[in-house]
Amino acid sequence: MSNQSVQTVSTSGDKLKVVLAVVAAIAGVAGFFVLAGQPTLVRAAALVVGLLISVGIAYTSASGRDFINFAKEAVRETKKVVWPTRKEATQITMLVFGFVLVMAVFLWGTDKLLEFLLYDVILGWKK
């Protein structure tokens, strides 16, 4: 994805900004629940404003910008994914079902064989 080196050094100012961003996000969520008697639009606005403030504060820190860049790169990489056609997906699904069926029969047969050997041959118990 990225050839950038990872740095874990951050200043206390950056740490404070991240903490404030988390507090703002929690305040937005708390505001949504505290305003339970208010119209849904007011509650949603409190949530959105809290989250926007949180993102704004986080973006001013180095780790916040790094996270946003990572998220952008992740979205860019997911756009490169080549999805299988319907025919390919059906074939793969049938192959998986077939394998599961074969394994189920194999495990059932192994269980019955071990049951026969243990109870009938070794212990001499008859059911």
Segment 112-123, tens digit of pLDDT: 999 999 988 888
CA 107 to CA 105: how far, in whole Å? 6
For residue 35, give the 3-state DSSP assignment.
Answer: coil
> Hey, where are the domains in the chain?
12-78, 84-127
Structure confidence by residue, pLDDT tens digits, 42-65: 999 999 999 999 989 988 888 888
At 67 the pLDDT is 84
Q: Where are the alpha helices (DSSP H) in 60-118?
A: 62-78, 86-115
- Token readout for 1 is 């994805």
At 124 the pLDDT is 79
Tell me the pLDDT band of 86, cut-offs 50, 70 and 90.
very high
- Token readout for 65 is 């910008």
Tell me the pLDDT band of 6, cut-offs 50, 70 and 90.
low
Q: For the chain, first and last CA: distance in Å?
A: 62
